Each structure stands twice: as C-alpha cells, then as structure tokens.
Amino acid sequence: MHAHHWNESIQIPPSTVCIRGEALGRCSSLKVVYSPSIALQHNHHNGIFNNYHSNLIILTDKDGFQYRACLSITLNNIHQFIQDLPNNPIPLNQQSQSLHQVLHQRFPNIAHQAQQSSLNLLHLIVYFPGDIYEPLSTLLTRCP
C-alpha cells in the first residue's frame, strides 16, 4: 500500500487485517479512506487516523461502524440515500444542491465534511471498491 502527500483518497484492500501506525504518516491531504471494518477494529488503539479525525471520511463495509471520532459511511448507507432522491430526473442546475440536501437529511456530519473537503456523492461512491454499478447507475438516472 503506497500513498503520497498529494493523495486525497486511499483504498485499504479488503484482505487487510492490520495497518501499521506509520502507514499514512505522510498523507497530509487525505480526505477519504476506504477500509474494511476488521482492519479498523484491530487498529483501534494505535491511532492510525489521529492526525485526520477532524476532516476524514471513512468508507467501510459495516453499517453503524464507528472508529474513534472519525465519520464513517457504507455503500449501503449511500444506496439508502439515493432512494431518498426524487424519482424524476433532477434538472442539471439543481443537482448539486439536491444531492447535498438529501445527504444532509440522513448524514448531516458526512454532508458537512464532504462539503468542507469539496467532495460530492459521486466521489464517495467511486472511492468504494468492488461493485458500485447499482448505486452509481441509479444516481446517474436521477442526475443525468
């Protein structure tokens, strides 16, 4: 696993069960991390994300998972959020605002942090590994 100081996101492989504390030491611009919850559970006490807790969104695989003070969200959470969007296509000039409002209704802290980090829902979806086709295609039909 390699990360450079200009990276804003990183995906920790699903097979990872241990992350050394210094692994992300030089990733000062990190905004989004995908990590399997098992890797975070095994590293709960080593403070791997201590330098980022106020401005980091953790994407993970277990609903309701909390890693210290970091904000976390799952692909299932995002899928629920997409279901809250209007069924009719959202006009282009209203898409950004509509996505932010609906995200804010379900996940106000995530919405605030994403906005602070200049991220939107599309960024969050594509940072998940694996099969993102269903939520991505649903989002694109509502925001053509």
**Dist. CA 63–CA 73, nearest whole Å:** 7
Q: Which tens digit of pLDDT belongs to each residue from 85-140?
A: 888 899 999 988 888 888 899 889 889 988 888 888 888 888 888 788 888 888 88
| Residue 77 included in any domain | yes
Give 4-25 pLDDT, tens digit per residue. Answer: 334 788 888 878 777 766 666 6
| Structural domain includes residue 135 | yes
Whether 2 is covered by a domain: the verdict is no
pTM as predicted: 0.78
Residue 3 lies in a domain: no
Query: Rounded distance, CA 100 to CA 44, Å?
Result: 31
| Residue 74 forms part of a structural domain | yes
Q: What domain count does the chain have?
A: 1
pLDDT confidence band for 1 (50 / 70 / 90): very low
- 4 assigned to some structural domain: no
The answer to whether 32 and 39 have CB atoms below 8 angstroms apart is no
pLDDT reading at 3 higher than 60: no
- The three-state secondary structure class of 104 is helix
Number of continuous H segments (helices) and E segments (strands) in the chain: 6, 4
Whether 1 maps to a domain, the answer reads no
Establish if 112 belongs to a structural domain: yes
Per-residue b or e along 15-50, where b marks 16 or more CB atoms closer than 10 Å to that residue's CB: ebeebeeebbeebeebbbbbbbbbbbeebeeeebbe
Domain that holds residue 16: 9-142
pLDDT greater at residue 61 or residue 130: 61
